[in-house]
Amino acid sequence: MSRLPVILLLIIAKPVFVQNLYSQNLNDTLHIQEIKIHSKRAIQDNALYVSRIDSVVLNDKANSSLSELLAEHTGIFIKTYGRGAMASASFRGTDPSHTKVLWNGIELNSPMLGMTDFSIIPMLFIDKVELFHGSSSISETSGALGGLINLQTTTDWSGNFSGSYLQGLGSYGTHDENLRINAGNSKVQSQTRIFFSHSDNDFSYVNHDIYDSVNLETGKKYYPIMKNEDAWFTYYGILQELKYRINTCDIVSMSFWGQQSSRSIPLLSTNESGRNNNVNRQEDGSLRGQVSFRHYGEKFTIDAFSGFNSMNLDYSLKNRLDSDSLLQIINSGSLSRSVYNKIKMGYIFSPGFRLELSAGADIHQVNSFEKVKQEGYSEERLQYHTSASVYKKWNRRFISNIMVGTELIQKADISPVWKAGSEFHILPEDKFYLSLSFASNTRFPSLNDLYYQPGGNILLKPEHSMDQDMGIHFNTQGGRLIYSHDISVYMSQVKNWIMWIYGPKGASPENIEYVDIKGLETEFSLKYKAEEFSCLIGGGYVLASSRDMTRSANEFDKSFGKQLPYIPLHSANAMAYTQFKTWSLSYIWNYYSKRITTTSGQSESARDVLYPYFMNSLGAGKQFSAGDSKLDINFKIHNLFNEQYRSVLQRQMPGRNYSLQLKLNF
Amino acid sequence: MDKKSLSKHLLAGIFLTGIFMLQSCMHDETWVEQLKPNLRVEDILAGRGVLVLNEGNFMYGNSSLSYYNSRENEVLNDVFYRQNGIPLGDVAQSASLFDGELFIVLNNSGKIAVVNFGKYPALKAFEFIHKISGLQSPRYISFIDSTKAYVSDLYARGISIIDPATYSVYDKISLANNTPDFYQHPTEQIIQFENEVFTNCYSFDDKILVINSLTDKLIDSITVLQQPNSMVLDRFGKLWVICDGGFQGSAFGNSEAGLIRIDAGTHTVEKIFILPSDSWPSKLCINGGADTLYFINGDVWRMPVTAKELPDQSFISAGSEKGGKLFYGLGVDPVSSEVYVSDAIDHTQNGVVYRFRPDGSSVDTFRVGIIPGFFFFFGE
């Protein structure tokens, strides 16, 4: 582990401390902000189940990836192929392609794969995380059958010049450098964020999946102690944002995100082909940008947006044979380019009556080619969407809304999308209310589903879901305490669910009859703030039953009614952040129940099952101040009890490990 | 509730939550089943045991061995894992018995697991002894003599030569194509005829390569239809090869699927039986008498080696196309000529093996592991 960056930081930190720079408004890592409660939600939030991750948590995870944040602090199941390796999400027991991710309006899901790799989304580029559970996502986008993760950056219009430099150092040669600079005034604001992250990721472990040697007389066998070789990863990127406030009602903004990720993918723990064989590399590059105009009038609002997202994904598998050079076995490259255009208008006829109209047109283009087998495709798709929503507050207790929309795709039928919901307020000011909603959603197949060579199926139909949600919501404030609690029960029937199924010629996607999804989500948050002491305690539990209800003509097919593979039935998380004067302490815990890996749900052999696991981490921090500058030092212990666990079969995860985070706000 | 009481309840809640959170999860060892089957070689031979290699899912590392006692109609799944406490590996491709040791080729684990089958009396059957590692993507092992075995490989562009006594690779026969538009040659099955060894090159290829087993040199190449996936040798010295023809849209192109007869002595293609369009044949097998061919093409088909034409009726039907059986593996008992055919169902759950008498009547059906693809028959 290189210590040079730390030394450099400490050298440059001292002169910065003694200077009286302009005040800034960046949050310090673990220090809990002034508590505010928004007692009145906007009418358009009616019957939506949206959970927002607390800023305290976002600050704590400032040098993490989004996958770590979601795994530790939400009920979303993150399936990760290892530390730094690809991570996909299952929201409410659905497939990774059913979770949509928007960043400042740009869709981060790959149009080629349909899903998002959460491991390469840096937290530095995110100021706000909202989870739209299930059909609540329809208010923002269609096709997110499991839900929507809405990521945003925010702007502090009061700041002139400010910034932060965060340096993380961790076990296994891990180091992160994050720089953030804000400059501007009340009219114009510029934000620049740059990050670099690298890890050798070469943790040691006892490989219980192979034997090193055997004593042939006694039969005693020995496990090897191994290093997680060839598992390094390097990410770097830049985000530049520019916002102009034309007047108090109108804002124009533009942003640009460029990023590159390089990863070496380690072998399965049973693979003994050696370091010269099966050398896996993956390169992900992305260029994203958007321009938007927002008008916030007293009655009329408009949000116009255009964005692009260009992602390339190159994967190679190489062997070193007789010569010194590596020989390509797989050399695949893909380039996905998407352009998004959307306009959304709202008009308030009266304080309890709002109308919203939106329309959009997107174009997706994918070029995918594997050079060794010379297979691939090049396709594009146009997608149009429109919607109209009406929100009506009938009286002080009862609010309802209805939304109807259409999704039109090139070479396919029009698919309707709709949602109707109501809230009944038992206590005023959102203290205690019930919500109920019904919805129908549509998701189109990804371009790989349709055109991948070999196996793509151009006859695939879109997936359709019918969703029902019921919620109980409780928010209260008393003295120094704020408590909120949400409970949601949901049901969803997804017809024409797309699943890759093997046939005589290999795998090909098919529409399976339907998948029945039922579940319960509950989460709570308790905040307490005194003069020198504050704390945030929160947690959640998710029951996600997701069952294939397709009857097979094959009498030996045992998949009917079974939980889908790799989706835990139970998951839970809890956190506690406390601060006393300049000291802070945090504890994070999360749990996943066992996950089966087969469609039949068989678990007679341990090799078919991923064990349940409890993961604990502990952090402690101290803040130092000098004038307007602050230095936060945080030390964390991850996997506190040194658990041996897996997220995917035969992919090693690290044991107890440590990180040190230094953050200088100026 | 007053503030003091609320605080007490809160503290109690936090404490209880803390106790729950602090509990540790289980470690690998506690999950390893210790129900060792402790099978004895004599019993396996007496029971005319059949070993089923279940490939498992690619990149899941969940391949397994199922042991079937054909006299008692009893199956014991996961025998390797149960006996040894470790997973077998990723994609169990084939197995071969040599000198009291069973060599199990694990394609995507880059190794061959060697398990006891009588060589070490103190150890049980299928107990792990050794491994041959450092291979790229091994497919089949064939023992040329007591000091030499050939290992075919999908990606090695050659045949590895193994010393079975030391479990080491000591040489390699290079089979790299000098005009490599595609990654050639990937070698598959290995069949010895006199002092020559034949190997079929399946993926994106159309060759049968011939190697002199005395000199370990490539001596000839026979062009067949595209993608020869399996082959057998009949009692008349004829090499039979089945080709699936590749797939439409492949840059390598695609041909008709067919069954080909080659004279092993002269390397001459004598006869090509073209299969109907939309065929996808695989798993060519032969009976113990080496006079009857079996293969999968949707259904299971059977044909005497002396036949002039392809059969017009299948031997065992897979059922209706939608939701019917998905035949994947095929084996013919060399002694009884009973036919074992596996159904991989959806490839992500335990498969099924159907056992038939030579007249096509059913004997037994039993559950095995995920994607059963290869059968090995023990005993006389």
Q: How do residues A287-306 score in pLDDT, each as one tens digit?
A: 999 999 999 999 999 999 99
State the pLDDT at residue A594: 92
B35 — pLDDT class (breaks 50, 70, 90): confident
What is the least distance, in Å, from the CA of A495 to any CA of chain B? 18
**pLDDT tens digits along B66-111:** 999 999 999 999 999 989 989 999 999 999 999 999 999 999 999 9
The pTM assigned to this predicted structure is 0.90
What is the least distance, in Å, from the CA of B218 to any CA of chain A? 17
Interface predicted TM-score (ipTM) of this complex, two decimals = 0.89
Closest residue in B to A600 (Cα) is B349
List chain B residues with CB under 8 Å of A589.
Answer: 21
Distances (CA, A) of A197 to A10, A173, A288, A297, A298: 19, 11, 20, 42, 44
List chain A residues with CB under 8 Å of B156.
Answer: 319, 321
**Could you say which of B157, B280, B348 has the minimum Cβ distance to residue A598?**
B348
Flag whether pLDDT at B283 surpasses 50.
yes
List chain B residues with CB under 8 Å of A504.
Answer: 280, 282, 298, 326
Q: Cα B5 to the chain's mean position, in Å?
A: 68
Q: Are B244 and B258 in contact (CB under 8 A)?
A: no
State the pLDDT at residue B243: 97
Interface touch B24/A641, C-beta < 8 Å: yes
List chain A residues with CB under 8 Å of B326.
Answer: 502-504, 554
Flag whether pLDDT at B167 surpasses 50.
yes
Cα end-to-end distance, chain A, whole Å: 27
Flag whether pLDDT at B368 surpasses 60.
yes
State the pLDDT at residue A36: 44
B320 — pLDDT class (breaks 50, 70, 90): low
What are φ and ψ of residue B120, in 5° steps?
Answer: -115, 100
- Rounded CA-CA distance B122/A292 in Å is 76
Interface touch A454/B326, C-beta < 8 Å: no
> With b meaning 16 or more CB within 10 Å and e meaning fewer, what string describes A125-161?
bbbebbbbbbbbbbbbbbbbbbbbbbbebebeeebee
Task: Report mean pLDDT in 10-residue bins for chain A, 666 residues.
Answer: 39 34 36 46 89 92 90 93 92 96 96 96 96 95 96 90 95 96 95 97 94 86 92 97 95 97 94 90 97 95 97 93 79 96 96 95 96 92 95 95 91 84 94 96 95 92 96 93 96 95 86 94 96 95 94 88 94 96 96 93 79 94 92 96 89 94 94
State the pLDDT at residue A561: 94
**Could you say which of A481, A526, A606 has the minimum Cβ distance to residue B31?**
A606
Interface touch A322/B174, C-beta < 8 Å: yes
List chain B residues with CB under 8 Å of A375.
Answer: 249-251
**Could you say which of A209, A322, A504 has the minimum Cβ distance to residue B87?**
A209
Flag whether pLDDT at B24 surpasses 50.
no
Largest CA distance in chain A: 88
Closest residue in B to A270 (Cα) is B89
- Rounded CA-CA distance B205/B229 in Å is 10
Non-local (6+) Cβ contacts of B364 within 8 A are B73, B354, B355
Q: How many CB atoms are located within 10 Å of the residue A286 CB?
A: 20
**Could you say which of A322, A373, A507 has the minimum Cβ distance to residue B182?**
A373
State the pLDDT at residue B4: 55
Angle at B322 between CA B316 and CA B326, to 5 degrees: 45
Interface touch B14/A537, C-beta < 8 Å: yes
B11 — pLDDT class (breaks 50, 70, 90): low
State the pLDDT at residue A343: 97
Angle at A294 between CA A289 and CA A295, to 5 degrees: 170
What is the least distance, in Å, from the CA of A62 to any CA of chain B? 24
Flag whether pLDDT at B311 surpasses 70.
yes
Residue range B107-120: average pLDDT? 96
State the pLDDT at residue A324: 66
List chain A residues with CB under 8 Å of B325.
Answer: 554
| Sheet bearing B299-304, strands edge to edge | B282-286, B292-297, B299-304
More confident residue, A637 or B1: A637
State the pLDDT at residue B253: 83
Largest CA distance in chain B: 99
Q: Are B55 and B371 in contact (CB under 8 A)?
A: yes
Closest residue in B to A370 (Cα) is B251
What is the least distance, in Å, from the CA of B229 to any CA of chain A? 13
Interface touch B109/A270, C-beta < 8 Å: yes
What is the least distance, in Å, from the CA of A69 to any CA of chain B? 18
Interface test with A, best of B75, B109, B175, B326 (most A CBs within 10 A): B109
